[in-house]
Amino acid sequence: DGGITQSPKYLFRKEGQNVTLSCEQNLNHDAMYWYRQDPGQGLRLIYYSQIVNDFQKGDIAEGYSVSREKKESFPLTVTSAQKNPTAFYLCASSAPPQPQHFGDGTRLSIL
Amino acid sequence: EDKVVQSPLSLVVHEGDTVTLNCSYEVTNFRSLLWYKQEKKAPTFLFMLTSSGIEKKSGRLSSILDKKELFSILNITATQTGDSAVYLCAVEAYNAGNMLTFGGGTRLMVKP
């Protein structure tokens, strides 16, 4: 089945540690996105990529990094510079102008 | 800066009721407005609206856009407990890489 797979579902980060969230899609979409969702709030854009080997910062990119070496993969690293990383992270992909489709998310917590 | 505001923040109704969710927006170079339903995990796509006054309908759900007054509504008739979810509204602008700006969502609870 075509879709977007995020892993892991749950992740815990220690102080000073970098962690990487995986996002893989087999929909052959060019565009991929990372969003952060805090409790009771909407989604905020962290990074997006419209094509392989290219990506742009979203509204809240500080403390995060991404890469786009393959069309189907768009991993997000939460660095130790992100002081408040506890949130629900959602990855999406699209073939513009079609709507974005989302993965099931990764819930990140601090130990 | 693009802005999307949803109301109410939350809503509790009983099965069979009809509900109306609101979304107002301010965006430069508006392209489309989207509605998503989010239960536990991934938001699932409901509607994409680009033209004023044309109702989109899917079963008990319908939505309409007013580009003059800059708002959209999502109606759910004969609500069921399975409609309980957070409903998210988002807007997309031209020349913005298909990026979406989301509102804060409306949490709907449907009681038996």
pLDDT in single tens digits along all 112 residues of chain B: 889 999 999 999 999 999 999 999 999 889 999 999 999 889 999 999 998 888 999 999 999 999 999 999 999 999 999 999 999 999 998 876 778 999 999 999 999 9
Mean pLDDT value of segment A6-30: 94
pLDDT at residue B8, rounded to an integer: 97
Considering only the beta carbons, identify the residue of B32, B88, B97 that sits closest to A48.
Answer: B97
Structure tokens at A79: 């660095």
Whether chain A has a CB inside 8 Å of the CB on B45: the answer is yes
Specify burial of residue B49 (Cβ count, 10 A radius: 0-12, 13-18, 19+).
Answer: buried
| A and B: number of Cβ contacts within 8 A | 57
Strands, E, within B1-112: which ranges?
3-7, 10-14, 19-26, 30-38, 44-49, 56-58, 61-66, 71-76, 85-93, 100-102, 106-111
Give the minimum alpha-carbon distance from A88 to chain B in angstroms, rounded to a whole number.
9
- B41: how many CB neighbours lie within 10 A of its CB? 15
Give the minimum alpha-carbon distance from B95 to chain A in angstroms, rounded to a whole number.
11
Sequence-distant (6+) residues with CB within 8 A of A39 are: none
Which ranges in A1-111 belong to alpha helices (H)? Answer: none
CA distance B107 to A111: 29
**DSSP run (H or E) holding B39:** none
Whether chain A has a CB inside 8 Å of the CB on B32: the answer is yes
Mean residue pLDDT across chain A:
93
Query: Do the Cβ atoms of B48 and A99 come within 8 Å?
Result: yes
Q: Which residues of A fall below an 8 Å CB-CB distance to B?
A: 4, 31, 33, 35, 40-45, 48, 50, 56, 58, 90, 94, 96-97, 99-105
The answer to whether A95 and A30 are in contact (CB under 8 A) is: yes
Considering only the beta carbons, identify the residue of A44, A96, A103 that sits closest to B98.
Answer: A96
pLDDT-based confidence at residue A92 (cuts at 50, 70, 90)? very high
Considering only the beta carbons, identify the residue of B41, B44, B90 that sits closest to A105.
Answer: B41
pLDDT-based confidence at residue A1 (cuts at 50, 70, 90)? low
- A100: how many CB neighbours lie within 10 A of its CB? 27
CA distance B74 to A72: 33
